[in-house]
Amino acid sequence: MAVDEGALLFAPQNNRAAYVLLNLPATMAPRLPRSAALVLATILGFLCLVALSDDEQLENLRFVRRAEDYASLVSHYNYIVIGGGTAGCPLATTLSEHSRVLLLERGGLPYRNMSSQEHFTDALADTTLASPAQRFISEDGVVNARARVLGGGSCLNAGFYTRASVDYVRAAGWDARLVNSSYRWVERALVSRPDVPPWQAALRDALLEAGVTPDNGFTFDHVAGTKIGGTIFDNAGQRHTAADFLRHARPTGLTVLLYATVSRILFRQQGTLHVQSTHTPAHSCQGSPYPVAYGVVFADPLGVQHRVYLQDGAKNEVILSAGTLGSPQLLMLSGVGPQAHLEAHGIQVLVDQPMVGQGVADNPMNSVFIPSPVPVALSLVQVVGITRSGSFIEGVSGSEFGIPVSEGARRLARSFGLFSPQVKPPGFAASILCIIWWIGASILTMCSCMQTGQLGTLPPKQRTPEALQRAAEAMRRLDRRAFRGGFILEKILGPVSSGHIELRSTDPRANPAVTFNYFQEKEDLDRCVQGIQTIERVIQSRAFANFTYANASVESIFADSANFPVNLLPRHVNDSRTPEQYCRDTVMTIWHYHGGCQVGAVVDDDYRVFGVQRLRVIDSSTFKYSPGTNPQATVMMLGRYMGVKIQAERWRK
């Protein structure tokens, strides 16, 4: 008699070893007393559970499957959530408590090498079509990435967890009590207090010495001064992501499809609107016919087209949680957006909504590499200085930082991950981009920068494959001590400057064209300058002295970092570079871009899209400004928050 395989599949928490031991037929069971068998089964089950990685545990959830394994070509749900990212996972989990939910994710499970802090750069260094990080380059010439994986950006980021400020919550019009309970729900599932290594402790003390006071200790709250925040990496260095929320879903209420690429939202004409206004919620108007969302079309990896529909009922909805790029892109592909732009791409216009794709912003980040005379432990963001001038100071460290750990990642990234001169984005041939995110030229200066041909000073069009090859070979020959140190970075509040998103094509897999207009507004530039000046004080502080070379001046440290090719912008090479020029020349992303479907412009206060019914957008595209110092906490909170609110609306008569 065999063990029931069906029951084994549904064994709680994947504790299959314990289940097998306790359910073997008498003729097959070990000759142990039942109590001893129970103890042994518990130990074995615990060990097996610990051995499973996060993605293996997710893989064993019976409601998570690949899109091509989805047998039903037509199905009906209460909610269809597009995007299994930082907002979509907590949202779908919450809605599944009392409803039937379909969650469509265009990527796959988090890779095993995304789970470890040591592998932080590996996924971002992967430029293949299967990469969980889909690279794009903004029209400004800054390299960026968007998540393509279950769990979204929480699978790729530096893990820092901090809430939005009280003022931000108030300005958003959110229910403060529900906000706090939603944050706590997130924190119970994912968030840890970090063990602070000496480099991060020195950064904290240096920030205090530099005047970023008071010392707020460990806190999730966004308050002026210096603090230690939370992290989604546990004390073993393992990452926990938004995909972890799915383990708390009601299994019979949720279906998750991976590698499901949504091409458009389906609408039908129904009812009447008094005025087809893009600034009036459709559910409150009467008069002319209006579009009602009733389903979506998605393709699986084999190219098979699937249609899924909402069940009948006014409270069943399609919810876009595809992120700052994906949500406005899918609205436009579905006929909701600027009329002239949609017509130029041959898209039938359902609602002329000129604000779709507008107000997109990215918080500019600038950094400096600080070479260390002593070994430095690996650490991602743990400490933040929240200045009163509107800049946020953070740091990352480690002697091996940026050098991929896994052999596969080394092959992909020519041994230097995101810092490789040879990492190249799709679509670039002769002008191969030198993607070096948080590293300074000080490394090359210390180890014979001339070997690289001063790559950082070359204009982008002169960074030929041959020049990049020489630089990569030179980097391979460097003593690994050259990478010893850390990066202090600043990003600014807001920002005030913003841009837009436009379609490049009607292919839902392609990146849209994105313009952020970094430092277009003087207020942003002023904040950056003040942040750079704070970093200078940190470097010169007594608290940070153990991690700087005594003979290295602040000027030389910044000059070296300024020469590294971190973007595609023209470089201004001179010995008297101003802080303003440093901000402009070395601007990078910290992946905190947002906007494109902002509240009040594209969606109402309940995140319903203006001009249509049964369609909402719930993700970072609805933000006007980035919340807190790092947005992931608030994006996850928003998923939970709106899930609770939507459930309450559903049962309200």
pLDDT over 80 (residue 415) = no
pLDDT over 70 (residue 446) = no
Q: Is the peptide bond before 214 cis (omega within 30 degrees of 0)?
A: yes
* pLDDT reported for residue 43: 47
Q: At what angle do helices 554-562 and 522-540 cross, to 10 degrees?
A: 130
Known binding-site residue numbers for FAD: 149, 262, 591-592, 631-632
Phi and psi of 294, rounded to 5°?
-135, 0
Pick from 226, 210, 218: nearest CA to 543: 210
Spatial separation of the C-alpha atoms in residues 400 and 484, rounded to whole Å: 7
Give the percent of the chain with pLDDT over 90.
65
Mean pLDDT over 119-137 rounds to 86
* pLDDT reported for residue 480: 64
Phi and psi of 145, rounded to 5°?
-150, 150
Spatial separation of the C-alpha atoms in residues 321 and 335, rounded to whole Å: 18
| pLDDT higher at 344 or 425 | 344
**What does the DSSP 8-state code read for residue 487?**
E
DSSP-assigned states of every residue in 588-637: EE-S--B-SS-BTTTB-TT-BBTTSBSEEE-SGGG-SS--SSSTHHHHHH
Task: Please tell me the CATH code under which domain 62-110+149-191+238-270+290-354+595-652 is placed.
Answer: 3.50.50.60
Q: Which one of 11-15, 25-29, 173-177, 471-475 scores highest in mean pLDDT?
A: 173-177
Residues involved in catalysis: 592
Spatial separation of the C-alpha atoms in residues 298 and 598, rounded to whole Å: 25
pLDDT over 80 (residue 83) = yes
pLDDT digit string, tens, across residues 477-518: 656 666 789 999 999 999 999 999 999 999 999 999 999 999
pLDDT over 80 (residue 3) = no
pLDDT digit string, tens, across residues 344-380: 999 999 999 999 999 999 999 999 999 999 999 999 9
| pLDDT higher at 568 or 524 | 524
User: Helix, strand or coil for residue 112?
Assistant: helix
pLDDT over 70 (residue 458) = no
Spatial separation of the C-alpha atoms in residues 207 and 230, rounded to whole Å: 18
| Residue 73 burial (10 A CB sphere; 0-12, 13-18, 19+) | exposed
Mean pLDDT over 589-601 rounds to 97
Pick from 117, 147, 221, 159: nearest CA to 632: 159
Strand pairing class (383-386; 391-397): antiparallel
Known binding-site residue numbers: 149, 262, 591-592, 631-632
Contact 128, 117 (CB under 8 A): no
* Cross-strand partners of 589: 364
Q: Which residues contact 392 (CB under 8 A, 6 or more apart)?
A: 384, 385, 386, 490, 491, 492, 493, 531, 629
Per-residue confidence band for 209, with pLDDT thresholds at 50, 70 and 90: very high
Mean pLDDT over 275-301 rounds to 69
Mean pLDDT over 448-472 rounds to 47
Contact 110, 132 (CB under 8 A): yes
Per-residue confidence band for 31, with pLDDT thresholds at 50, 70 and 90: very low
Distances (CA, A) of 186 to 217, 245, 253: 21, 8, 20
Per-residue confidence band for 270, with pLDDT thresholds at 50, 70 and 90: confident
Contact 93, 248 (CB under 8 A): yes
pLDDT over 50 (residue 212) = yes
Taking the chain, what is the end-to-end CA distance rounded to the nearest angstrom? 53
All structural domains of the chain with their residue ranges: 62-110+149-191+238-270+290-354+595-652
Mean pLDDT over 327-353 rounds to 98
Spatial separation of the C-alpha atoms in residues 626 and 149, rounded to whole Å: 22
DSSP-assigned states of every residue in 204-245: HHHHHHTT---EEEE-SS--SEEEE-EESB-TTSBB--GGGG
pLDDT over 60 (residue 403) = no
Mean pLDDT over 456-460 rounds to 48
